[in-house]
């Protein structure tokens, strides 16, 4: 991509000064956006590599109390505090906004497909009734009770006031549990295969239920 001055010099002579200025401003904005996106990708990739390397070190050390998922959360929290300490507010907002697309396109599919590919199908389908009960009935119950709790807490004046819509939206968000650490411990301990399949299956389906409920609540009147 050429410099703004080179592009301006290539523009026909009969273009007025205002159009030249608009072209120059647009090129500067595009170059600045490209630089910001490059920094965001670099920061996210560096954090991912740091999390992977730390997880390998933790696994080799045989630590009993700190799991890889918890270590990743700690690394993310420390990185956020570091960015906030240096008042890099714009970069934090940009990374937060763009990470959603990065996660949904590049990170989530391998996680889902790897889990499904390595799933113990026999134990999963043997417990499909229990899994569906926990996934649908349990998740709906959790969403409803959480929403009532948040809405009621707001009415007392001791908490932020929630509208019914906001309460149900937030309740659906926190009801999508992801027992990564629990499943990792189950795998290391050689827990019962049926128990592992129930927890694993429930965690898969309740994400879908929570997403559908959240989108329904957000787009409702």
Domains of the chain, residue spans: 1-117, 119-221
Residue numbers of the chain with a pLDDT score lower than 50: 1, 7-8, 11, 13-14
CB of 194 closer than 8 Å to CB of 126: yes
Q: Is 27 helix (H, G, I), strand (E, B) or coil?
A: helix
| pLDDT of amino acid 3 | 52
Q: What is the pLDDT of residue 145?
A: 93
- Assessment of whether the complete model's pTM goes beyond 0.85: no
Residue 160's φ and ψ, nearest 5 degrees, are: -60, 135
pLDDT of residue 13: 47
Q: Note the pLDDT of residue 20.
A: 54
Locate 44 and state its tokens: 């996210």
Q: What is the pLDDT of residue 11?
A: 47
Q: How far apart are CA 45 and CA 204, in angstroms?
A: 26
The pLDDT, as a whole number, for residue 29 is 56
Q: What six digits make up the tokens of 120?
A: 């113990």
Within 13 A of 32's CA, how many CA atoms are on the CB side?
Answer: 9
Nearest to 176 by CA among 205, 144, 147, 217: 205
Q: What is the pLDDT of residues 26-45, one digit of tens each?
A: 565 556 566 666 777 777 78
**CB neighbour list of residue 90: distance below 8 Å, 6 or more residues apart:** 36
Residues 183 and 200 sit within 8 Å (Cβ to Cβ): yes
């Amino acid at each position: 991509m050429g410099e703004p001055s080179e592009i301006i010099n290539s523009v026909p002579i009969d273009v007025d000064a205002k159009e030249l200025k608009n072209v120059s401003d647009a090129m500067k904005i595009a170059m600045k956006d490209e630089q910001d996106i490059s920094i965001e990708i670099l920061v996210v990739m560096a954090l991912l590599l740091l999390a992977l390397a730390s997880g390998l070190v933790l696994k080799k050390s045989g630590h009993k109390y700190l799991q890889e998922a918890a270590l990743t959360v700690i690394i993310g929290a420390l990185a956020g505090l570091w960015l906030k300490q240096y008042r890099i507010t714009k970069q934090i907002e940009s990374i937060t906004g763009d990470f959603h697309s990065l996660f949904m396109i590049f990170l989530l599919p391998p996680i889902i497909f790897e889990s499904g590919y390595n799933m113990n199908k026999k134990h999963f389908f043997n417990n499909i009734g229990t899994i569906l009960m926990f996934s649908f009935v349990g998740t709906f119950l959790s969403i409803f009770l959480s929403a009532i709790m948040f809405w009621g807490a707001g009415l007392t004046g001791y908490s932020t006031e929630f509208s019914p819509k906001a309460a149900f939206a937030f309740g659906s968000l926190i009801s999508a549990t992801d027992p990564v650490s629990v499943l990792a411990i189950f795998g290391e301990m050689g827990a019962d295969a049926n128990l592992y399949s129930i927890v694993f299956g429930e965690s898969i389906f309740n994400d879908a239920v929570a997403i559908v409920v959240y989108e329904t609540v957000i787009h409702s009147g």
